[in-house]
Amino acid sequence: MDKNIKKLLALLFIFSYGIFNSAAYYFETPKSFSLSEKNCYYPFSLPSGQNAESVVFWEEADEKKSQVSLYTRNSRDGYNWTEKKLLAEGITFYETPHLFYSCTSSKKKQLCAVLKNENEIEIYTSEDSFNTTKVSSINDTTLTLSAPRLYTLSNGNFILFVSSSSTANSSAGFIIKYSLSKDGLKWSPLKELNAASSIAGTGNPIVPVLAAGKKSDLLVFMVQYHRENLISLQLYACTSKDGASSWSQPVLITGSSSFENGREDFYNFSNQAPSLAYDGSSFIL
């Protein structure tokens, strides 16, 4: 038999073998996770610290009522799941559902903050992967609240960020407010993150993301940057070494130095949706 034909037959055999055995390289047949006929949004998986059981959260929307409910299911192995459990309900949305919740965990506790309405945020605290919970709330009856973001600080305490209207007139602009808690149950009054509001030539700070280091916390947020009749979105960073009691002066991290050769017209580019992590020695943006 010709050598070239032998090579061709060998290649065809390898190719055919790969096709018939490819099932081993794919996930198992997907199954319905939410067990719902309603539209489901924004799934999020939360590890539970020392507990081997993880929790998955998601929103289910009732378009007729314009309301969202938040559900959970737990698993230890990713194959066997508990029955779905209702965590919060009656959250009103307009036009389309938004992300109404945020979660975090420490070694012993798991927290979930839910935007109950435009003036109230409920915080669900658990020590058993949300099989049981205790509920506390943060209220602001004068300003509109939105977009809760919940994080664990380097000292083990918790911090909740919210976007808030800067005045009673919700169209006047936004500021970032935050509240602190040692146990997830008692929260300090909301106060403005002045480090984000006092940057000259900027406005409307939003989307705060935090990563906890060994002895400090790094916060990155997005602002509207005004330059030469242009408005772009830029990222600033500040740090805290005292458990978020105070913050350093913000530093522009998407300016000219963020380009390989430097660009003075950096404000022609917008930067959005930051994500932040700490790998044990360095912060990664």
pLDDT one-digit tens code per residue, 90-101: 998 887 888 899
Q: Name residue 110's amino acid.
A: Q
Among the ranges given (127-131, 194-198, 265-269), the one the predictor scored with the smallest mean pLDDT: 265-269
In this predicted structure, the answer to whether residue 127 has a pLDDT above a threshold of 60 is yes
In this predicted structure, the answer to whether residue 245 has a pLDDT above a threshold of 70 is yes
The whole-number average pLDDT for the span 42-60 is 84
Consecutive H or E run containing 72: strand 67-75
Of the two residues 173 and 263, the one the predictor is more confident about is 173
Global pTM? 0.85
CA 76 to mean position of chain CA atoms:
23
Q: Which of 215, 266, 208 lies closest to 236, judged by CA?
A: 208
In this predicted structure, the answer to whether residue 282 has a pLDDT above a threshold of 90 is yes
Of the two residues 256 and 105, the one the predictor is more confident about is 105
Contacts of 142 (CB under 8 A, 6+ apart): 168
Rounded distance between C-alpha atoms, residue 222 and residue 199, angstroms: 12
Rounded distance between C-alpha atoms, residue 135 and residue 119, angstroms: 16
Query: Highest-confidence range of 11-25, 74-88, 174-188, 227-241, by mean pLDDT?
Result: 174-188
Residue 267 exposure: Cα atoms within 13 Å on the Cβ side: 13
| C-alpha pair distances (Å), 16 with each of 13, 26, 130 | 5, 17, 48
